[in-house]
Structures are given as C-alpha cells and as structure tokens.
C-alpha cells in the first residue's frame, strides 16, 4: 500500500469527515485502493423465476432465449445465497469514551471500524448485524444482506453514546444464546473487565461453532502511561480517583497491561479465536487486513 493511501486511512483523517456512512465508505475505498488483488469472495446466485420486463429494469437481465420463443421480454430473477452471517459486537460502556490528546475515542474508533467492516461485507453480499452492549445488551439489530441495511447499522452507531459500567462476560453469554446459526462474531472492546469472565463468554461462541474475531482497542496512554508530572486518575465508570506520579510507575504499568493482554491472547489461541490488540493510532487498513485474514479462512 502506498504512503498516499495510508495517509487517507489515518484515524485522525477519517474522524474529520462528516457522517459515519461517508467515513465507512472512505475507509473501505481507501483500503481497497491499496490492494493489488480484490479480497472479495464471489457470491453465488441461483435462478429463481422469470417475471415480465418492466420499464427501468436492466437490459442485461433480459432472457433473450425466452424472447426468441415467445416474442416477449422477461427478466431473470435470482435468489442470492448469503456467504456469511456476521455479528458486529461494539462495546458501548463508559470507558470506551476515553481519548487522549487530540485522538479519537475508543468508541469512535470501534464505531468507524464496525461501519467499515459492515460496508465491506454488505458489498460482498454477506449479512451483517450489530450489537451494542455494556452491562447488558442495549441494542441488537439482526443480520441482513440488503445494501440499505447499512444505513440502519450506521444510524444506530451514530446515535449511541458510551454509558454505564462494563460487564462483558454476561453480555457475550446472552448473545451466544441468541445467535443460532453459525457465523462470524466480531467483538470490538477495550476488554476492561474480569479476563476470566471475558474468556468464558468468548468460549461460549466457540462452543456454538461460531468463528470469533477480537479487536482489543486501547488508547496509547492506556498502555504507556506517558503523562508528565503528578496526575490524578479517575475511573470513568466508578468515579474512583487516585493521585500518582506516572513516570515512577509507567514501566510496571506497561508490564501489567501486557500481561493482561497476553492472558486473553493465550486463551484465545487455545480456543482458536483471532485476537488483535490495536490502539487508536493504528491505521484502519491494518485492522481491515486482520478481518480479511479471518474471512479468507472461512472458505
């Protein structure tokens, strides 16, 4: 991918655009422009029936063999076979609102990533659904493969504001019970919760034979604690405060964050779950490639 394409995929560049649908399209088209080979897997179609030609119908769909026999225009209608049902699970707990300096928030990053993935999957005729959650499931929009479904998904993301505390495990278990057909589950969260509960919820999806992809989204300051002088830290969900000098604890803090991530990553590897830790500086093409790697292994 050229430097020009990568420049247009910077999270800060995307966040400056107006409208989530425009952002999603920009991410996908910029991402696609840098690929030498299309990542799309062709979808199959089966002939369903003929119907009489109506003004405005594409001429290419006219069945000329039938015209030769009947001297009437008929259109071939097809029934599209959906390649995949995908479920985009976006963490909308209050901690996802965090953003350092002039970066976008974790929730906005997750929302734009979800929008881009939804846009890409609907273009290749996959069915896409959306789930927002914090302590419980807030909204569940079932998967559909119509292109008009994208507006519904993006509108829901645009209207969602991070709120409430985090209880990832119970939310994952609830969705694992509600999703019956095998599909692809994409979780976008900062995973700031009990790792044992998170892992249990993720394994529930695997027990039901879903493919699972995790985007562990963090702000850079949540991993390096790079703050100057003495600082007061406030928990965005509980309001608890502590005062400390970041420079004195940043190394130990970084080790603990890495250990936390590795605990979840190791459990995911054991359960054949794709885990990707990214921060809000990460260009969207890197996140999209992670999804395509998972998508390619489904076929």
Give the DSSP letter string of 237-298. TT--EEEE-HHHHHHHHHHHHHHHHHHHHHHHHHTT-EEEEEETTS-HHHHHHHHHHHHHTT
From the list 34, 48, 160, 144, the residue with the least C-alpha distance to 97 is 160
What is the Cα Rg of the chain in Å? 22
Residue with tokens 């409208």: 19
pTM: 0.79
Q: What is the pLDDT of residues 4-19, one digit of tens each?
A: 556 667 888 788 777 8
pLDDT(285) > 90: no
pLDDT value of residue 110 = 95
Tell me, what's the pLDDT at 42?
Answer: 37
Beta strands of 154-234 (E only): which ranges?
184-189, 211-218, 231-234
Widest pairwise Cα distance in the chain: 86
Per the CB < 8 A criterion, the answer to whether 166 and 191 are in contact is no
Per-residue pLDDT of 56-114, as tens digits, reads 677 777 888 888 888 888 777 554 445 688 999 999 999 999 999 888 999 999 999 99
- What was the pLDDT predicted at 46? 47
Q: What gap in Å lies between CA 2 and CA 33, rounded to an integer?
A: 9
Number of residues that this document lists for the chain: 299
Domains of the chain: 3-37+82-296 (3.40.50.410), 45-80 (no CATH)
Tokens representing residue 106 in the block? 């974790």
């Amino acid at each position: 991918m050229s430097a020009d394409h990568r420049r247009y995929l910077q999270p800060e560049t995307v966040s400056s655009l107006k409208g989530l649908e425009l952002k999603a399209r920009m991410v996908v088209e910029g991402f696609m422009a840098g690929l030498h080979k299309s990542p799309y897997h062709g979808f199959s179609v089966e002939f369903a029936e003929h119907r009489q030609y109506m003004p405005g119908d594409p001429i290419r769909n006219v069945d000329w063999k039938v015209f030769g026999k009947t001297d009437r225009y008929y259109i071939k209608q097809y029934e599209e076979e959906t390649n995949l049902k995908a479920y985009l699970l976006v963490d909308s707990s209050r901690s996802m609102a965090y953003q350092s300096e002039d970066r976008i928030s974790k929730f906005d990053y997750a929302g734009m990533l979800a929008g881009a993935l939804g846009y890409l999957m609907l273009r290749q005729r996959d069915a896409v659904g959306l789930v927002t959650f914090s302590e419980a499931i807030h909204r569940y929009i079932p998967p559909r493969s119509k292109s008009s479904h994208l507006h519904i998904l993006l509108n829901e993301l645009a209207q969602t504001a991070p709120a409430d505390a985090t209880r990832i495990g119970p939310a994952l278990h609830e969705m694992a019970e509600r999703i019956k057909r095998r599909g692809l589950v994409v979780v976008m969260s900062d995973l700031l919760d009990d790792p044992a509960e998170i892992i249990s919820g993720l394994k529930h999806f695997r027990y039901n034979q879903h493919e699972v992809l995790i985007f562990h989204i963090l702000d850079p300051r949540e991993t390096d604690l790079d703050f100057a002088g003495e600082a007061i830290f406030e928990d965005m969900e509980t309001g608890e405060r502590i005062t400390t000098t970041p420079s004195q604890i940043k190394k130990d803090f970084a080790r603990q964050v890495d250990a936390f991530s590795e605990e979840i990553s190791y459990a995911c590897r054991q359960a054949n779950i794709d885990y990707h830790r990214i921060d809000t500086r990460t260009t969207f093409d890197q996140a999209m490639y992670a999804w395509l790697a998972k998508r390619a292994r489904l076929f």
